[in-house]
Every structure is written in C-alpha cells, then in structure tokens.
Amino acid sequence: MRIATWNVNSITARLPRLLAWLESSGTDVLCVQETKCTAEQFPTDELRELGYASSVHATGRWNGVALISRVGLEDVVHGLPGGPGYEGVQEPRAISATCGPVRVWSVYVPNGREVAHEHYAYKLRWLEALQTAVAKDAAAERPFAVLGDFNIAPTDDDVWDIGVFDGATHVTAPERAALTGLRETGLTDVVPRPLKYDHPFTYWDYRQLCFPKNKGMRIDLVYGNQPFADAVKDSYVDREERKGKGASDHAPVVVDLDV
C-alpha cells in the first residue's frame, strides 16, 4: 500500500500534474494540503475517473485539505476537533478518514508568520489541539498516521542553513517541543534521514533559485503509530515532481507499507 502527502499549493493550478502523478506513482492514498479552492471547485469528478474517491475540507482561496483514496474512504471527519480559531474563523486545516486498513489525518499546520505575531501563538495552540485530537487514534492497534505540511523543521539538519533562520519561525524551540509532544502520543517519524541523498528536503521557495541550489527545508512529515511504523517498507521524497514548469513548491513524500 502506497501512502503519500503533498502540499500542492493550489489543486486547480496543479491538477494536470496531480492526475499524471497519481497514475505514474501508483499511490493508493494521498493526503493533500493547500488546495486553495472551495469544496465545489475541488476536482471530484476527475479523480473519480481515475478510480479515486475523495473528500475535501476547504472554504476558498486559502488553506484547504483533502484525502484522495482508491482503497476506501470511510468515517471522514472534517476539521480539528477542539481546535482553535483564528480571528474568529475555524480554518480548514485538518481532515481524517479510514482508508482500507489504515487511519490517516491530512494536516496543514499554520505557518506562524513571525514569532511575535498572533499567528505564531495560534500555531502553538493548534498543535496542542492536534496532540489531544490524535491521541486515541495513535493508541489504537490499527496502523495510523498524521501526514502533512507541519511548517516545522524537526532538527537543524532539516534546513539548508540554520544560521539563516535565527529568530525565525519553523525552527523555534516551542514549535519543536510541540512536535515532541505529538510524538509522545505514540507516533514516530517514519521517513528517516538520510534517504538516498544527504538532505531529503520537501520544500524549496520559488525565489532565488532555491530548488536548483537545494536551499530547502524538511517540513512535510509522516508521523505513524507503532503498527504503522512496523509496516513501513520504504519511503522517499519525490524530488522529480518539484522540477519543471507549473510545479508546487513542495515535493510529495511517499511511504510504502506492507499491510
């Protein structure tokens, strides 16, 4: 069983590449972030033609998450139970479902913007709510994973130059402590470092030739419980999908399971 996560940075802009990638990669379940569309604009019909069921939690131009599966899509939950709002709005940043033998969450953690910004405090509250919300699924005997764009680099080695990030979000101690708290529910990072290259980054800014220079970050993560981790046979970052015209600024992260 092949499960992946991908921040597509607009599913409308990325649709031809997304459909081609689903076919070529043989992915069974895809967790999507940053759909940037309404639920009505989501390409349900196009995905169905490829044999995929889908469910989307999205409200418009910003944010938005989805699950795409060809092995079943049941017990879908839209939103983060108990999650905080931002400026009075519950943003569409989480969706969960059972896909065949596996329970998955697709999450798009708030960016945080700047350490002194209210969005940073919101990010930490959101992560605290995520930890509480996933605890029951993490403790279950069936394979379970939280996949998505966490907007946090777990270690200094997960950014191209830690000196560049001094005082910035994505690498602060409170953010990383929130990841530690999430792991303490019984989850582990199932995409090891190194993979087939020294720095398996998942995100590269469009500006300043960051991708050709490999000035990236590893912020798209897969955290699985013990049954999920035990089933992992391989994992990789599909850097090829970051190349070329019309690419997202994130690459898909793929995990193969024997379940």
For position 63, what pLDDT does the model report?
A: 95
256 vs 197: which has the higher pLDDT: 256
104-141 residue pLDDT tens? 999 999 999 999 999 999 999 999 999 999 999 999 99
Average pLDDT for residues 168-184, to the nearest whole number? 97
Give residue 62's pLDDT band: very low, low, confident or very high (50, 70, 90).
Answer: confident
Taking residues 57-65, what's their average pLDDT?
Answer: 92
Is it the case that residue 195 has pLDDT exceeding 70?
no
Tokens of residue 138, six digits: 């993490």
Residue for token pair 């910003």: 62
Q: Mean of the pLDDT values across residues 198-224? A: 93
Q: How far apart are CA 107 and CA 92, in angstroms?
A: 9
pLDDT of residue 22: 98
Q: Is the pLDDT of residue 54 over 70?
A: yes
- What value does the mean pLDDT take over residues 56-81? 96
Going through the chain in order, the beta strands assigned E by DSSP cover 2-7, 29-33, 53-57, 65-69, 74-78, 94-99, 102-108, 144-149, 188-189, 203-204, 216-217, 220-224, 232-237, 253-257
Mean pLDDT of 178-200: 83
pLDDT at 60: 87
Q: What are phi and psi of 66, to 5 degrees?
A: -155, 160
Over residues 28-38, the mean pLDDT reads: 98
**Domains of the chain, start order:** 2-257 (3.60.10.10)
Q: Which two tokens stand for residue 114?
A: 């700047």
In this predicted structure, what is the pLDDT of residue 61? 79
Q: Encoding tokens for residue 90?
A: 């519950």
- Residue 196: the pLDDT is 53
Sign of CA dihedral 104, 75, 136, 140: negative
Instruction: Output the pLDDT for position 192.
Output: 74
Kindly state the average pLDDT of the residues 36-54.
97
pLDDT of residue 199: 63
1 pLDDT exceeds 70? yes
Q: Output the pLDDT for position 193.
A: 64
Average pLDDT, the chain: 95
pLDDT greater than 70 at residue 197: no
Q: Residue 179's closest CA among 188, 168, 190?
A: 188
